[in-house]
Amino acid sequence: MRILPLFVLLGSLFLSAQAQGRDYIYVVGSSTVYPFTTLVAERFAKSTRFPAPKVESTGTGGGMKLFCEGIGVQHPDIENASRRIKPSEFETCQRNGVKEIVEIKIGYDGIVLAHSRQSPPWKNLALRQVWLALAKQVPDPKGGDKLIPNPYRKWRDIDPNLPDLAIKVYGPPPTSGTRDAFAELALEGGCSNFPWIKALKEKDEARFKEICHTVREDGAYIEAGENDTLIVRKLEADPSALGVFGYSFQEQNSDLIAGAPIEGIEPSFENIAAGAYPISRPLYIYAKKAHVGVIPGLPEFLDEYTSEKAWGEEGYLADKGLIPLPKKERETYRKTAKELTPLKSL
């Protein structure tokens, strides 16, 4: 049969595929860290003899699952994370034999509430106002510890100093790491302004989270998908709306959109780097120590990532919107990367 060689070929393909090793670094994880890791990957491939790493954008949670599945060439070497590894994920890793994980904090990312430059600039937004505008249930404005469905339609209803615009905010869906961070930093920060809700945090954390993190579903908060570019476009088309996304998008599109000052602080590079801007979060990468020596170039890649020309104040990552760590922290984490000091526990 003439077809026979084809089957032999396919069969051998399968076998060879299984036996094959891997000579490139394999990274998974957060879509927020993706633009930074890919840039390092590209520079790394250009300046060394190693092949270019493969970077998958799976989201932090999805990446952790892949990362913690085990040791071996079919599993990723590095995880991008827009939050710290959770104790449960750390345990899963340990259980699956991923014992030694090197944690490197790479910098900060700010979350901005931005609007189109066509509309007049926002003078200030307090976190309390952000929460009142977006929560599903808010404390009764008449007073007391009662929650009522969010009655606010316009920003002016919340505070007479705010603009006379309908509340309309485009933001990421619950599956996104940006949304997690936004809920934790902005919404929780806002609802903690109410003493009785804040008191709940100790007594009944689940209820506290429910009150603070639940976003209204009556159309004022519009889930615009994980695509931040899309939110930027929506803001262009709809100048009265606000959008929630990462600082790097604000930086790249600063001619079209402007970030609203939060608690009186502008979302600028300097303010986020100094830790003054209230909605900012650290970004991490996690590496498997067991893969060093198995996958060529892994220590060199971490070295490139933690070099001053990459993550320094004037490095190429800063050009793309990553907010660098303070000098001291950079030195600490560079040492961690060099010595591959594993994470002991959380």
Partner 1 sequence: MSKGHTVDRIVASIARRRARETRLKWAGFMAVAVTLALLALLLGSIVALGWRAFQQTYLALDVYFDPQVIAPDGRLDEESLRQADYESLVRQALRELFPQVEGRTQQRMLYRLVSSGGADYLSHMVLADPRLIGTRQRVWLPASSDVDMFAKGQTGAQRAASLQPWIDHLLAQGRIEKRFNKTFFTAGDSREPELAGILGALSGSFYTIGLTLLLSFPLGVAAAVYLEEFAPKKNFWVDLIEVNINNLAAVPSIVFGLLGLAVFLNAFALPRSTPLVGALVLTLMTLPTIIITSRVSLQAVPPWIREAALGVGASKMQMVLHHVLPLALPGMLTGAIIGTARALGETAPLLMIGMVAFIVDIPRGLLDPATVLPVQIYLWADSAERGFVERAAAAILVLLVFMLLMNALAIFLRRHFERRW
Residues lying near partner 1 in the complex (CB under 8 A) are found at 3, 6, 13-14, 16-18, 20, 22, 24, 26, 31, 34-35, 38-39, 41-42, 45-47, 51-52, 54-57, 74, 226-229, 248-249, 251-256, 314, 316, 320-321
d(CA 138, CA 236): 30
CB count in 10 Å sphere of residue 189 = 20
What are 92's two structure tokens?
Answer: 């899963």
d(CA 326, CA 46): 28
CB of 49 to partner 1, least distance (A): 9
β-partners of residue 78 are 27, 287
109 within 8 A of 247, measured Cβ to Cβ: yes
Report CA dihedral (185, 191, 193, 197) to the nearest 10 degrees: -130
Closer by beta carbon to partner 1, 103 or else 226? 226
Measured between alpha carbons, how far is residue 71 from residues 66, 94, 245, 295 in Å?
11, 11, 34, 11
Label the pairing between strands 280-288 and 101-116.
Answer: antiparallel
297 within 8 A of 50, measured Cβ to Cβ: yes
Closer by beta carbon to partner 1, 23 or else 204? 23
CB of 73 to partner 1, least distance (A): 9
What are 54's two structure tokens?
Answer: 């493969």
Closer by beta carbon to partner 1, 128 or else 320? 320
Closer by beta carbon to partner 1, 14 or else 196? 14
What are 299's two structure tokens?
Answer: 């220590």
CB of 113 to partner 1, least distance (A): 17
Closer by beta carbon to partner 1, 22 or else 99? 22
337 within 8 A of 286, measured Cβ to Cβ: no
Closer by beta carbon to partner 1, 103 or else 251? 251
d(CA 138, CA 158): 11
What are 78's two structure tokens?
Answer: 């590095």
Closer by beta carbon to partner 1, 59 or else 190? 59
Q: Report residue 228 CA to chain centroid gap.
A: 12
CB of 131 to partner 1, least distance (A): 27
CB of 20 to partner 1, least distance (A): 6
